Structure 1
Amino acid sequence: MNFEQLGLIEPLLKALQKEGYTHPTPIQAQSIPLVLKGQDLLGLAQTGTGKTAAFVLPILQRLVENHYESKGYRHIRALILTPTRELASQIGDSIAAYGKHTGLKHEVIFGGVSQHTQTIALRYGTDILVATPGRLLDLMNQDYIHLDYLEHFVLDEADRMLDMGFIHDVKKIVRELPQEKQTLLFSATMPAQIAELTRNLLRNPAKVEVTPVSTTAEKVEQAIYFVSKKDKSKLLVHLLNEANIKRTLVFTRTKHGADRISRDLNKQDLRSDAIHGDKTQGARERALHNFKTGKLRVLVATDIAARGIDVDDLTHVINFDLPNVPETYVHRIGRTGRAGTSGIALSFCDHEERAFLKDITKLIKLSIPVVDEHPFKGNATEQAPPAPAQKRNTGPKNRPSSKKPWRRNNTPANQ
């Protein structure tokens, strides 16, 4: 299937061609026709599946087709609510790219920066507003933003909204929206509070679900290193110096840990930066820009800060700390191996993290191969948690070459 078969108008097809996109992803192929028909939509999909275009493209088309003369002032006709500043900026970039031939105007607002430039930009109105919850509520309360003319509402990454404590802000915003509108809700998971919100917010929604979280891990080549906590930094430096790792995202559980890892790497002449919630907006954007453009080889991130980061040609993800929520592991490693490309995820596991590893293997129903030859193997020969019996991994399709300094034995990490 190509985009023309989805019924998209010429201005959008022209922009997609310029961006080099010819074939829709599964969520785009399923969602775009439904949104074009005006249906409410529940989309169960994580980042990396192409969900942004799945709602941006049909909303742009509906706004063009339902255009009305507003005598110079543009009322907000579409609102896209997203949890993080980085994701808001990326959605704004997508709207700019796909909508460049439509004549539609969009603005992006988020907290952490002065509101002055944002209120100036909103003075003459906009067709599409991309916003984070806190700043949107602030500007609504100050009477800078009115949503009386809203036709389309998108709640993106609803589960992350819940994780970050924004769910009450979201409910306040929803109460201010017109009853008659099209609503699209996207979430990677469906916890109880999001399920309740979905029932209250969506009207007879179509449901689109792609790539269940437990199966996404099959697309990424994985390996586990058993290593003591004190040797993790040394192992990371060793891998970056010896392995064919061109660009990697390193995950840690804490903000302090992310800063410390970045400092340690820079001392070893390995250019890196950290991104987390305590960083200023400017610092986060600079770090992400430098990483995308190749000025940084390593970006160290916490889970919340990394949600929504989309970097082309990300060869590796390294879990410096294993997450205590198994779904988070799948979201992390899904940053690499996107759009059908191959990717490698390497994870460090100390003694205290063995229980986390057991939960992860139970979720993904795969045995993660152990790297038994490295300078800091420590407890690598100890038995790991018991394996789930449902499914065996016969090994990655793209096995590492003998030139790579990490070589696996035949012992799965969960045996």
Structure 2
Amino acid sequence: MDDLMAARSQMALSLGFHIIFACIGMIMPFLMAVSHYKYLTTGKDKYKTLTKAWSKGVAIFFVTGAVSGTMLSFELGLLWPEFMKHAGPIFGMPFSLEGTAFFIEAIALGFFLYGWDKFNPWFHWFTGVVVGASGLASGILVVAANSWMNSPAGFDFVNGEYINIDPIAAMFNAAWFSQALHMILAAFVATCFAVAGIHAWMLLKGKNSAIHQSALKIALTIGAVAAILQPISGDISAKDVAKRQPAKLAAMEAHFHTEESADLIIGGIPDEENKTVNYAIKIPGALSFLAHGDFEAEVIGLDQITEEEHPPVTVTHFAFQIMVGCGTLLMLIGLTWLFGLWKSKKYIFSKKYLTIVALATPLGFIAVEAGWFVTEVGRQPWILYGIMRTSEAVTPMPGIVYSFILYSVIYLSLSAIVSLLLIRQIKNLKENQDLSLPLNQ
């Protein structure tokens, strides 16, 4: 493994772990706030117990997210010094604002965790809302920085120099809205379905309590709404990518040849040597419609792009298919859940349905990881699209492979510690016998 591949692998590893912590850290406070609100309005102890249990999870992921996020910040400078030399003054504003949001989140979380029976109940609830709002702001600001890498703005690149810098224009670049919307909805879907899956599993294990049923209702209802909205944000993103990064869209769809009324490919195995896709299901004209809103529109293929600027097609295509497949399954589960709630159907608490929900626990995060593969691998060979190649930005220092191995050990250890802490918190969620309810109630 050469230094470039080691540096890219280390960033992929770091981002892959951090995005899980970040998603949960952003969304869990909102679930906590909903449960807390229901406790304040109903006075039922089950919601207080649930809120306190979820708040401990928020604290765990806040700490781990802070650690992994700090490591990512250092890696940007250590692994990609040439990139940061020029990019820092341009897109530094989102990172500085993200730091402010982080401190607000930390202060509000402290108030919430230690404010029980000390603050006015509604002010205490409000501090929990601030935790979620500031966490969400942090996520949006970081995505703004990433979207700038996909859609450079806020400067003029003249004779190798970056001049006329405008940090506001850089932050609110052309890709900012579509990426932020898609990522935030993905975070809601992944986190809510993961939480719902854990509580469904607890119900299947015989913990037939009002606590787990209430948790399932809160998490899965919010997750279902987000899963239904996600295809809309996906359509916005697809049209944006088709306009700005035609090579990425072509790699996502393994679209080798420019053509009108282009087929949408479902599945399939790309053959990059022969420029074909084997075993795929094709929907005539659908790619043209998704990319340009017209079934007859021309979609640019990889044949119109210089070969050395082709992204890795197989990885990008498979990642895109995995993301869409997982998202579709979660949307179907969400639709059946909302229908069951609406029609008061007992199947939503049946063992078969709970098993489906429990099995779907990791699907949201698999989709998130696959989506980031599409975003990052699909941008290659550029670190700053159309301006700076990844190979030009990597550090000249040798031995990056050893750093990659060290970071792998650190992240695996961190994941093991977090998993053990979460397992302990789940086991400590002891229900009172008077809260027990029949499984189908």
TM-score relative to the length of structure 1 = 0.25
Higher strand proportion (structure 1 or 2): 1
TM-score relative to the length of structure 2 = 0.24
Higher relative contact order, chain-length normalized (CA < 8 Å, sep 6+): 2
Higher helix proportion (structure 1 or 2): 2
